[in-house]
A and B are shown apart, each in its own frame.
Chain A
Amino acid sequence: MCGICGIVSPDALPDLALLRRMTGRLHHRGPDGNGYYRDDTAALGHTRLAILDPAGGAQPMSSADGTVWVTFNGEIFNYIELADQLRSLGHTFRTTSDTEVILHAWQEWGTGCFSRFNGQWALALWDRRERRLVLSRDRLGVRPLFYTRTGRGLLFASEIKALLADPAVDRAFDPAGLDQTFTYWSTVAPRTVFRGIEQLEPGSYAVLDQRGFRKTSYWSIEFPARGAERVQDVQRDTRALREALVEATRLRFLRSDVPVGAYLSGGLDSSIIAAVIHRYTDVPLHTFSVRFSDSEFDEGGYQKEMAAALGTQHQDILVSPAAIADVFPQVVRHAETPILRAAPAPLFLLSRLVADSGYKVVVTGEGADEVFGGYDIFREARVRLFWSRNPRSVKRARAIELLYPWMSRSPGRLPAFGRSFFGRNLDPADLALSHRPRWDSTAVIKSMLTAGLRDEIASSDPGDGDLVAAMPACAEGWDPLSRGQWLEMTTLLPGYILASQGDRMLMANSVEGRFPFLDSEFVGFANALPARYKLFGLEEKYLLKRAFADLVPDRIRHRPKQPYRAPDAESFFGARPPDWLGEVTSAAAVAEAGVFEPAVVAAVLAKCARTGGARMSNTDNMRALAIVSTQLAHATFIASDGGQALDRHLPEPAVAVDLVTDDRSGA
């Protein structure tokens, strides 16, 4: 895994000093090496985390004839098969890296190469002869890729802080981006929370040449119409699922020239991945877990049970509320967005443990909940749909008592509140029926916004209507579960799970995450299944549990679903609030940021101070986190330029090609 950046400047020489500053701000993504390429129109930068072909895979890398250059972040897991195919077509290779496979694949298949890649990537290809830049991102948005256009041209980078190295780049919040974040928990590509800075949509590529800038989707999230799924045989499908996941895991565990570890949360998904590695490879496994001092969040018992069952070398890190508060400014600096949960912070600490243990790569169970209907929001949607068939039925209303059994304020314990909350907008024709309660409850944050920001949002108004309108026309024929999955895979997965909790927290400590459940073959297989194979009644991951019944202990396979959570407001407002909190949330800082009404913020903070942040409602926790993280984001990226603390003198580059000065080394 690596960091990439670049400048395309058609009317002026690309600024090499700027490129090196941008590269320096991505040092944490690739501390093993760096490099650059520049000609009279384009400059590409790269920081390298060396995982495949450490000796031969330095970047930027060129084609044999020097006409095409690539800077690449990620892994193409089927690069060996692609290389074999390309050799049979006459291509010869100088290295054993997947980077070189990209160059040959591009030369052979053009933009058609992306749909052949099974991997996780963000990359830029520069064709010198055609003066054409191509940006591409993997199907589900595992790897980030941002860009902005200035008066001098286009800048792109793995992280926004690298774009902000250019003083010409605007530094302001985007009202519509904040509106999305305070509705969906994250922005939806191409939007970000920063004005003028966009992200490439997952599953797409962009081309910049003399004809302008244009984007094309090469893959989209698809499901069959309900009832039109291919003929099913549950035994055959169970076998096929197992084979697909075993292969996806093997590709991600074995295709590495450095050791690969695994996260073990104590839940089903990471347990399956670890168990598959144990069963199907001969490599000793090192597992890593987060534990919490608060038993409400801790899953240590299940983690230890699974680690013992597999005989892994296991390490965990015990995270306290104070530790979360301590690293939270770094977490926001890496996440580059307001975050409505403290949950990324323990993952930042976990990846630090992984790096300190000498590992650069981990496989995790991320993606299973989206692909196999594991989240509570899908159970919630099924209950609401059931209720909507007769909203006046007292009997049907009781079904909400089946939801969220792990919550201290569960609908089972507070049924009247549950009926009031989940009984709103019970419209079975609503394509977003699954997500209305979450969006509505999150949008409470917007009641804290300043009048000025609300006006700006109203005048830009992407609203959630746009997201629903963006659903494919055929979504009306999908199973309601599939519609919920589409929304989840479009919003929370790329915007939060894979970003703020994924890539950013891993790469902050130079660790690459690999996600077998997001393998393109596996996702295609799972999406084609009937919904009931995923959510069987209210039982999540039906076929998955069936396929791995022999590898995962019953106690873990049958345990109630417990989402990964961390202490939120109580991390910041306990007995000893962190030193930075007062300044960041002061009335002056809140007024300067201009996002929230200072009086409302004062009231929320007073409530937090009074309670110590403990036993607060979900809404109050979100309010508190929205304030703290937004203020930190403002202080980090708008009041300052977001990267000064990361600016550093880069080590000697492994690749240094400047055609402007005709200086070549390492190419």
Chain B
Amino acid sequence: MSRDEWPINHDEWPANRDRIEQILRDDKAVRVPDPDPELEALQRAILLEDVFELTLSDDEIDPAALGSPGSAQDVVSRHQRWR
């Protein structure tokens, strides 16, 4: 991947769905997914908790909840509404 292909600015606050999507795209760009779906969900949970300063429930740290960009966006958005 060349520099120009990197996803761009994701530093708006509060986070909207675009920013969440950009974070998830960056995550996909910088690493190889873990073959164990549960460990992959943990990797994503660690990233989202750090970037968006939230604490996910065990139910949310799950491949079903964090496995796709759409579902992960839903999880983060739900937490942001609660803040």
Contacts and interface: CB of A to CB of B under 8 A. Distances in A.
Given A536-B26, A539-B30, A546-B3, A396 B11 contact: no
Nearest to B6: A546
A386 B49 contact: yes
Nearest to B42: A399
A537 B50 contact: yes
A235 B8 contact: yes
A474 interface: no
Given A549-B3, A558-B32, A398 B11 contact: no
Interface residues of A, number: 32
A398 B2 CA distance: 34
B64 interface: no
A203 B42 CA distance: 40
B44 A233 contact: no
B30 A234 contact: no
A295 interface: no
Contacts of A383: 46
Contact of B30 (A382, A542, A547): A542
Given A234-B9, A532-B51, A546-B3, A537 B44 contact: yes
B42 A402 contact: yes
Contacts of B3: 238, 546-547, 549-550
A234 B10 contact: yes
B52 to A, nearest CB: 10
Interface in A334-367: none
Interface stretch (A28-36, A92-100, A162-170, A387-395): A387-395
Nearest to A551: B3
Contact of A395 (B26, B50, B61): B61
A275 to B, nearest CB: 13
A382 to B, nearest CB: 6
Interface string A57-69: 0000000000000
Contacts of B49: 386, 389
B27 to A, nearest CB: 6
Interface residues of B, number: 28
Interface string B3-17: 100101111000000
B72 interface: no
Nearest to B13: A227
> At the interface, is chain A mostly helix, strand, loop or mixed?
helix
Nearest to B32: A558
A590 B58 CA distance: 53
B18 interface: no
Given A234-B10, A532-B51, A390 B58 contact: yes
B44 to A, nearest CB: 7
A538 interface: yes
A395 B42 contact: yes
Nearest to A546: B6
B80 interface: no
B11 A537 contact: no
A547 B43 CA distance: 23
Interface string B41-74: 0111111011100010010010000000000000
B30 A233 contact: no
Interface string A543-567: 0011101100010001000000000
Given A401-B39, A539-B31, A542-B30, A532 B50 contact: yes
A470 interface: no
B38 A398 contact: yes
A549 B6 contact: yes
12 contacts: A231-B11, A234-B9, A238-B3, A382-B50, A393-B61, A395-B38, A396-B61, A536-B47, A537-B46, A537-B50, A538-B31, A542-B26
Given A396-B42, A536-B27, A538-B46, 4 more contacts: A383-B46, A390-B55, A402-B42, A539-B30
| 10 residue pairs, one from A and one from B, having the closest CB atoms | A537-B47, A232-B11, A539-B30, A399-B42, A549-B3, A395-B58, A234-B9, A386-B46, A389-B55, A395-B61
Interface of B: 1-3, 6, 8-11, 26-27, 30-32, 34, 38-39, 42-47, 49-51, 55, 58, 61
